[in-house]
Structure 1
C-alpha cells in the first residue's frame, strides 16, 4: 500500500503551473494578484532607477554650467523660465522671482530674499514629489504581500483538510498536492514582498540624496543673490 501511494505521488506534476492549475479559485486569485503586484513593483523599480540616473546626470551637468563663470542672467536666458531639468527648474524659479522683484527704476521690492527662497522651496517640493511618486506602491506591496500570500496558504490548507475529510484518506497522494498548492501562495507573497522592501529603502535613500542636492544648490544660489542684494 505504501509503495502504491509513493508511486502515485511521484507521478503527480508538481510544477508551478500544475500547482496553480490545481488550486482553488480563491488561491488562484491570490496567486494572480501577487504576480501582478510583483510585476508592478519591478516596473516601478526599473522606471525609478532610470529616472534617478537621469536626474543625477542632469544635476551634475547643470552644476558644472552654473559654476563655469557664466553670468547668471545669461544662463537663465539660455535655459528659459520653464526648463526640462529638475535642477534647472530650481534655478529658474529663483531667477524668475529675482527679476520680478525689480522695480521699473531698477530698485528691489522689499522682501525679495524671502520670496526667492520660497519660490525655490516650492520648486524643490514639486521635484521631490515627482521623484517619490510610485514609492508608496513598493511600501504597500512590501508590507501586505506576505499577508496576502498567507491568506492564500490558509485557504489552501483548509481546502486540503476538507478533501482529506471527504476522502477519509491521509496518505501522501491526498495530502501533498493541497499543501504544496497552499505553500506556493506564501512563496509568491515573499517573492513579491522582499524585492519591494529592499528597493523601497534604496530608492527612498536615493531620492533623499537627490533632493538634498537640490536644497544645497538652492542655499548656495540664495547666498549669491543675498550678496547682490546687500551690495
Structure 2
C-alpha cells in the first residue's frame, strides 16, 4: 500500500454516524426501519414487563380476598360487575352467570354449570388476548430483522462494487468505506432481532404462566359452585 492510499484511508471517518451519512438512500431507509423496529420492540418489552408485574400483584391480592373466608356474594357485591383486575373480571363473569341462572322461585335453570364455565372461559380468553397483545411484533422483528439488514448489506455491497468499477481503483481506501456501510445494516438488524427474540420467549412464557393461574382459579371456583349446585 503506497503512502497516498494509506493517508486517504486514515482520513476516512468510520464512526456510526459517518457510515450512516455515506450510505445510499436505500440502505439508510433500511437502517431507519430497523431502528424503529428495535425502538418499538423495547417499548413493548417495557410495557409488557410492567403489565405482567401488575397482573401478578392483582392476582395475588384477589386470591387473598377470595380465600379469606368472605362470602362470595359479599365479595361480588364489593367488586361489582365492572371489575378492574383480570382475576376480578373472571370471578365476576362466573358470579354474574351464577345469579342469572337462578329463577324467581330460587331454583336453578338447567345447564347452569356449563354456562358458568363458558362465561369464565370467555373472560380468560379476553385476558389472554390482552396479555399477548404486541408479542407478535416481537416475534416478527426477531424473525425478519436479520433478513432486512441482510438486504441492506447486499444493496450496499452492490453499490460499493459499482463505485469500484466506475473509479477502476481497488485500493483499500475505495473498497473499505462501502463494505463498512453495507455491513452496518446487518449489524443493526442483529441488534434489533436478538433482544426481540429473547424478550419474546421470556414474555410469552410469563403470559402462559399468568393465564395458567387464571385457568387454575377458574377450575377451583367452578368446583366450589358445583358443590353448591349439587347441594
Corresponding residue number in structure 2 for 1:28? 28
The structure 1 segments of at least 4 consecutive aligned residues displaced by more than 6 Å after TM superposition are none
Q: Deviations over 1:136-163 (max 9, x none)?
A: 0000000000000000000000000000
Residue of structure 2 equivalent to 1:205 = 205
2:10 match:
10
Q: Return the TM-score normalized by structure 1.
A: 0.99
How many residues in Structure 1 have an aligned counterpart in Structure 2? 231
State yes or no: 1:137 paired with 2:121: no
Gaps of 5+ in 1: none
Per the alignment, residue 117 of structure 1 pairs with 117
| Residues in 1 aligned to 2:64 and 2:172: alpha-carbon distance in whole angstroms | 69
Cα distance in 1 for partners of 2:86, 2:147 equals 38
Aligned Cα root-mean-square deviation (Å): 0.6
Name the residue aligned to 1:175: 175
Q: TM-score, with normalisation over the residues of structure 2?
A: 0.99
Q: Counterpart of 2:103 in 1: which secondary structure?
A: coil
Shift of 1:109: 0.4
In the other structure, the counterpart of 1:214 is: 214
The 3-state SS of whatever aligns with 2:102 is coil
Give ranges in structure 2 of 5+ residues lacking alignment: none
* Number of the residue aligned with 1:151: 151
Partner residue in 1 for 2:56: 56
Q: Quick one: distance in 2 between partners of 1:143 and 1:6?
A: 40
